Amino acid sequence: MKKILLLAIVMISVSAVYGQKKRGSKKRAEKKIEKKEEMMDEEEDGEEYAKTEYERYRAITLGFGPRFISTDPGTLITSFTDNSPSPDNLMTTTEIADGYTSVGISLGYKFGRYSGLAHDLDIDVTLGDAGSGLMLTYGLGWNFPIDIGDKELLIRPSIFGGFGGFGFEVGQMLNNTGFIQIGQTQYNEPALDVALQSSVLVYGPAIDLVYRVMDRVDVFLSAHYDVGSNNSDGSIIFTSQVEDAKESRLDLNGENPKVVYNGNETTTLPYDISGIRIQIGASFLWNRD
């Protein structure tokens, strides 16, 4: 009887130990399954982060590219007599070529949805002695995201409109009588830089291709077709060579100052900014949600 009781106790003990081990193995297997599921979720989250983590963006952009301005060859004659008691006279002759190519730089602020409405505000500066100028434009478009691996390419067609001013440097006005007076402003320096400028409206279609290369950095390629119109409000600008930001501006009124282009008096300037404007650049994404 004692042997049977002892055998029963041993069997119960073995069964208990085996059951505990089995339950432990089952728990370890369940933990492995849970861990694997978590890893799969993390991979899916990582893929989603690369593509659709954010809905909206705000970015500062910097771009550059060639700029073209169309002109008709000819001779531009500029004359002016200042307002000092002993007047100084300006008389310059500027040869206008058959078009100009320059370098342009743009600074922009862009915001919108990665898939949806997009807004662009841009300042575009064209450098150079001839055909130089500045444009301020606003664009309204729509972002279409396209998956490329674990990244996105944004295609953004848009329309834009704005205004600007372009012109030509035409030489210097020399001080021969003590000081140069433009209106009520006196300049006590040897000479003033002189430029002509007129205003223009611009509008047209555009398309941007935007690709993210880093977490907060995009690169882009953009093409605008500028339609320039209403070339008007011509003016002559006298700029100090000594004092920064000191200048005087007078309207071209056909008398004093007077501008003659190819033998005809004019109050505007002979240029057309219409055409394709292409640039490449980078965007810094400083706010996303």
60/98 same-domain check: yes
Residue 233: Cβ-neighbour burial (10 angstroms; 0-12, 13-18, 19+): middle
Instruction: Tell me the C-alpha to C-alpha distance, in Å, between residue 148 and each of 45, 151, 216, 253.
Output: 17, 5, 18, 58
277/227 same-domain check: yes
- Indicate the Cα dihedral angle 190, 195, 196, 200, nearest 10°: -140
Residue 34's pLDDT is 57
Mean pLDDT for the chain? 84
31/45 same-domain check: yes
**Predicted confidence band at 62 (pLDDT cuts at 50, 70, 90)?**
very high
Residue pair 170/94 in contact by the 8 Å Cβ criterion: yes
- Residue 176 pLDDT more than 80? yes
- Residue 193 pLDDT more than 50? yes
Share of the chain above pLDDT 90, in %: 66
Q: Which residue in the block uniquely carries the two structure tokens 């996105």? A: 152
Please give the average per-residue pLDDT across 120-135, as a whole number: 92
Last residue of a domain, one of 17, 33, 53: 53
- Residue 94 pLDDT more than 50? yes
User: Euclidean distance between the first and final Cα of the chain, in Å?
Assistant: 79
Instruction: Tell me the C-alpha to C-alpha distance, in Å, between residue 239 and each of 21, 179, 194, 244, 256.
Output: 92, 14, 6, 9, 17
280/147 same-domain check: yes
Instruction: Pick the closest to residue 218 from 151, 124, 136, 125 (CA basis).
Output: 151
Please give the average per-residue pLDDT across 74-102, as a whole number: 93
Strand residue runs (E) in 116-190: 116-126, 130-148, 151-174, 180-182, 185-187
Amino acid at 98: D
Helices (H) and strands (E) in the chain, counts: 1, 15
227-276 confidence digits (pLDDT tens): 998 788 899 999 999 888 799 999 998 789 999 999 999 988 999 999 99
- Between CA 212 and CA 55 the distance in angstroms is 15
**CA angle at 203 for the pair 236 and 209, rounded to the nearest 5°:** 120
34/94 same-domain check: no
13/154 same-domain check: no
Q: What is the CATH number of the domain that holds 159?
A: 2.40.160
47/71 same-domain check: no
147-158 confidence digits (pLDDT tens): 888 888 999 999
* 66 against 47, higher pLDDT: 66
28/77 same-domain check: no
Q: Which residue in the block uniquely carries the two structure tokens 């040897």? A: 190
Share of the chain above pLDDT 70, in %: 82
62/131 same-domain check: yes
**Predicted confidence band at 2 (pLDDT cuts at 50, 70, 90)?**
very low
171/94 same-domain check: yes
Q: Within 10 Å of residue 243's Cβ, how many Cβ atoms? A: 11
110/205 same-domain check: yes
The number of domains in the chain is 2
DSSP assigned state of 257: S
242/269 same-domain check: yes
**Predicted confidence band at 47 (pLDDT cuts at 50, 70, 90)?**
very low
- Residue 16 pLDDT more than 50? no
- Between CA 195 and CA 249 the distance in angstroms is 10
- Between CA 88 and CA 234 the distance in angstroms is 22
Residue 180's pLDDT is 94
Q: Bin 13: left if φ > 0, else alpha if -120 < ψ < 50, else beta.
A: alpha
Instruction: Pick the closest to residue 90 from 199, 172, 207 (CA basis).
Output: 172
The token duo for 173 is 């006005």
3-class SS at 14?
helix
Residue 37's pLDDT is 54
Amino acid at 37: E
Residue 72's pLDDT is 87
**H-run or E-run covering 24:** helix 2-52
Q: Which residue in the block uniquely carries the two structure tokens 């140069």? A: 180
Domain that holds residue 44: 1-53
